[in-house]
Amino acid sequence: MVCDDPSNDGFAQFNLESQTPGILGAQIPTDFIVTYYASFTDADTSTGALVSPYTNTGNPQPIYVRIERVGDPLCNNVSLTPAFNLIINPSDDASFTMTPTCDGATATVTGTPGGTFTFNPVPTDAAVIDSVTGTVTGGTSGVSYTVEYTTTGICPLSSTQTFNVLITDDASFTMTPTCDGATATITGTPGGTFAFNPVPTDAAVINAATGTITGGTSAATYTVEYTTSGVCPASSVQNVTVLTSDDPSFTMTPTCDGATATVTGTLGGTF
């Protein structure tokens, strides 16, 4: 019995002489000539002895044996029934696919089920693999991993698949303070949404699409969260402090022909 190659065509090469020790048993091998045949008739007439390596013509294929004493062809014994059968077991099918996810991948066995999955080679990051399902988790965005699937049947096989983890969105952005809030600039993946986190208790509002804050309180600090909307979304936060409004307070001191001004707030303005 042998395992077929991955083609599973039902044909393989056999070393027939590997059966000789079992056939002769305790007898002295040098005293006998053992030959192999495809039929009893061939073995009985010593016609068409099979030569190793021999490729079978059927599966299973019966093999007949002829034993002759060296130097005395008339002293022989032929198996009336097949001495053994050439049997080829089909090889397992180790084919599978890997579907990338945002932190790894999922596996789909398209061949023989019930095998085991491993990394080959084993990564040095935090990625892990489920040996039963082949699911990879904890992988690094954009990194390539190679997975090996090995079947567990009578004729096991192994195969590998390489995949790249899906790239996670870039949620980076900046906030530029204004006199009543701030404006946002997306430096990563566009198309996401903005929100306060936490929501302020004053009159400040934020535009979800642009991130612009209006109605904010002078010198107040707000926390803005930006969340992307791609296949592998991400979020990040930025704090922004509204610019401090000028203080236009001043006093006027009357004089005999008018008055003089004293600025008690922000200097440098105009009257």
- Distance between CA 223 and CA 239 in Å, rounded? 4
- Distance between CA 205 and CA 169 in Å, rounded? 26
pLDDT at residue 165 is higher than 90 = yes
What mean pLDDT do residues 88-98 have? 96
What mean pLDDT do residues 232-261 have? 92
Residues 6+ apart with CB under 8 A from 6: 91, 93, 157
**pLDDT of res. 245:** 85
Identify the three-state secondary structure at position 192.
Answer: coil
Number of alpha carbons in the 13 Å side-chain half-sphere of residue 34: 21
Q: What is the pTM of this model?
A: 0.75
Percent of the chain with pLDDT over 70: 100
pLDDT at residue 7 is higher than 90 = no
Which helix (H) or strand (E) segment holds residue 44: the answer is helix 40-45
**pLDDT of res. 246:** 84
